[in-house]
Amino acid sequence: MRVNECESMQGAGGDPWSSAWERAARGPVAVVDCREEIPCNPCEEACARGAIKVGEDICASPRFDPGLCDGCGRCVTLCPGMAVFLLDRSHGKGVARVTVPYEMGGELLEGGEAWAMDEDGNALGTAEIVKVKRTGGRTGTLLVTVEVPEGWALKVRGVRDRLISLEAPEETDAEQRERDYHLCRCEEINVSDVRGQAGWFNSLRALRRYSRAGLGYCQGRFCQDLLRRELAQTLHAGEGEVGAFKVRPPVRPVKLGRLGGEDA
């Protein structure tokens, strides 16, 4: 993850949430919380009012003009990163409304309650669901609007119908005992065998012939990368240098009899 921190696209401070704050006093406004340079631009297309611009260079991060935004929420629906929200402070003192995209299976109903989650998945508390908007058919994204105390307004990033336990289990001493294991699943060749033999060979093909790793049913499709890594490490060589298995037809297991009696 490389975060492009140097530049703000939304105004002072660079935090799209705080810079939406003033505008949100007049009604819902988008918060485009996407700062990395990734090849992505559905948000630009979503906005009929031209408030979001990515431009010719698709890897540029989106620039947002709150003055043009009417809070319609189309960008919230269409952003694949689920990184666009709406903030609305026009519903009275001390409260704010936050709209988030929702694609989980929970049943969230208007008038009901949901857990408001912060960006690290901590529950801020429960909040009233003031609006649930279904966009586009049964499989569309839900836009869920919750009303929260103003103090949470900049923190809410998601909603959940139930909480899961976040607790990581207690730390223990990791056992140092290294167990042996198969590298080649089909022929049941152990990593210790391969390590023991790897030094004698300078190519993956030779290692396969001798150790029989990679000669099983799957034809090495799952152990080839693993063997290559082991061999390259042993030889202090690049993975490209130790080569690849020779490929023979058929490249998939075929039913007996279909290929002149040969079962691969």
Partner 1 sequence: MSLAVEEREMAVVGSGPAGMCAALAAVRAGADVVVLDENERAGGQLTKQIHRFFGSRRHGAGKRGFEIAAELERECRGEGVELRLSSTVLGFFPGGELMVEGEDGVYVLRARAVVMATGASEKSLAFPGWTLPGVMGAGAAQTLVNLHGVLPGRRVLMVGTGNVGLIVSYQLLQAGAEVVGILDISDRVGGYEVHYRRVRREGVPFYLRHRVVEARGEEGVEEVLVEEVGRGRGRVLRADAICLAVGLSPLAELAAMRGCRMVYSRELGGFLPWHDGEMRTDRPGTYVAGDAAGVEEASVAMEEGRMAGISAVEDLGRMRGEEAERARSEVRRFLLELRGGPYGEGKLRAKECLYCA
Partner 2 sequence: MAEGERVSGRVERHAVIESFSGGREVVIFVDGAPIAAREGEPVAAALYGAGIRVTRHASKSGEPRGPFCMIGRCTECCMTVDGARNVRACRALVKEGMRVETPGREG
Ligand X SMILES: Cc1cc2nc3c(=O)[nH]c(=O)nc-3n(C[C@H](O)[C@H](O)[C@H](O)COP(=O)(O)OP(=O)(O)OC[C@H]3O[C@@H](n4cnc5c(N)ncnc54)[C@H](O)[C@@H]3O)c2cc1C
The footprint of ligand X (CB under 6 A) covers: 80, 251
Our finding on whether 213 is near partner 1 (CB under 8 A) is no
The encoded tokens of residue 98 equal 């936050």
Q: Judged by CB, which is closer to partner 2: 180, or 241?
A: 180
- Measured from the CB of residue 214, what is the shortest distance to partner 2 in angstroms? 13
Q: What is the Cβ-side half-sphere exposure of residue 62, based on CA atoms within 13 angstroms?
A: 26
Pairwise CA distance, residues 234 & 219, whole Å: 23
39 or 136: CB nearest ligand X: 39
Residue 228, SS3 per DSSP: helix
Which tokens sit at 175?
A: 């056992």
217 binds, among partner 1, ligand SF4, partner 2, none (CB under 5 to 8 A by kind): partner 2
27 vs 60, beta carbon nearer partner 1: 60
User: Before 80, cis peptide (omega within 30)?
Assistant: no
Element holding 46 (H helix, E strand): helix 42-46
Cα gap 66→89, rounded to integer Å = 14
Q: Give contact residues for partner 2 (rule: CB under 8 A).
A: 102-105, 138-139, 142, 185-186, 188, 216-218, 221-222, 252-253, 263
CB of 90 to partner 1, least distance (A): 25
Q: Is 159 exposed, middle or buried (0-12, 13-18, 19+ CB in 10 A)?
A: buried
Query: Cβ distance 84 to 32 under 8 Å?
Result: yes
**Residue 30 touches which of partner 2, ligand SF4, ligand X, none (Cβ within 5-8 Å per kind):** ligand SF4
Residue 147 in tokens: 């009303």
Residue 218 contacts which entry, partner 1, partner 2, ligand X, none (Cβ below 5-8 A, type-dependent):
partner 2
Candidate ranges 29-37, 95-103, 135-143, 158-166; the one touching ligand SF4 (CB under 6 A):
29-37
Q: CB neighbours (10 Å) of residue 88? A: 23
75-134 positions binding partner 1, by CB under 8 A? 78-83, 103-105, 117-122
Give 244's strand partners.
Answer: none
> From the list ligand SF4, partner 2, partner 1, none, which binds 117 (C-beta under 5 to 8 Å, kind-based)?
partner 1
State the Cα–Cα distance between residues 132 and 146, nearest whole angstrom: 9
Smallest gap from residue 117 Cβ to ligand X (A): 23
- Contact residues toward ligand SF4 (CB under 6 A) are 30, 32, 34, 40-43, 46-47, 49, 51-52, 62, 69-75, 79-81, 83-84
